[in-house]
Chain A
């Protein structure tokens, strides 16, 4: 059974860097013909896609002004993990962050496996 588990960074201060790791069990990132990625949800609000990565390292990122140029996603197939890095965080980045499997085609999102989510709070 495929499972995804996010790391838990907890509380960050404004201007710090958020680093999250998703550990995948039950499937190999190296041999998986799937995109993997990150989605976040601010408290009481809707879903926002952050970005996706293929095991080869090919990436897509949300071009929105709230995220553009601050995000990077990487994959470590030897550890069966992929990671999110978000620099210069502000209170607006406070959200539950989910890692997920997004399907075999970047342009055909089928988000069928989700982590349980981890709450990241940015506050001084």
Chain B
């Protein structure tokens, strides 16, 4: 069982918006920064969001991150077929002294 909880899957039509939730507790999301990763089939994960809501250079503003309390959210607007991938949230857990990830969410473009 993952320390962080994500929905197994979300889906939407091209051009629509999806949101992916990541739920944790005070020892992880509640008091630490959250990052998000996209993993296309057969490839290594790629950093999408860091420090809750910052995008690395080259990541389009269709991707956004937010955090409230012990939950974080990744938003993807203007959904494209190329966005079909698994998405993971990650953070530091102060009680475990460990990097922890969510179980991953598969995004399907209908």
Q: Mark A residues whose CB is within 8 Å of B.
A: 37, 46-49, 52, 60, 62-64, 98, 102-103, 106-112, 114-117
A46 CA to B4 CA, complexed, in Å: 12
A105 CA to B13 CA, complexed, in Å: 38
The answer to whether B99 has its CB under 8 Å from any CB of chain A is yes
B32 contacts A46, C-beta separation under 8 Å:
no
Residue pairs across A and B with CB atoms within 8 Å: the count is: 67
At the interface, is chain A mostly helix, strand, loop or mixed? loop
Q: Mark B residues whose CB is within 8 Å of A.
A: 2, 32-33, 35, 37, 43-47, 50-51, 56, 88, 90-92, 94, 96-104
A99 CB to nearest B CB, Å: 10
A47 contacts B47, C-beta separation under 8 Å:
no
On chain B, the residues within 8 Å of A116 by CB distance are: 43-44
On chain A, the residues within 8 Å of B92 by CB distance are: 106-109
A110 contacts B51, C-beta separation under 8 Å:
yes
A117 CA to B43 CA, complexed, in Å: 8
Extra contacts besides A62-B99, A107-B32, A107-B92 (14): CB < 8 Å = A37-B99, A46-B2, A46-B102, A47-B37, A47-B45, A47-B88, A49-B100, A60-B98, A108-B33, A109-B91, A109-B92, A111-B35, A114-B44, A114-B45
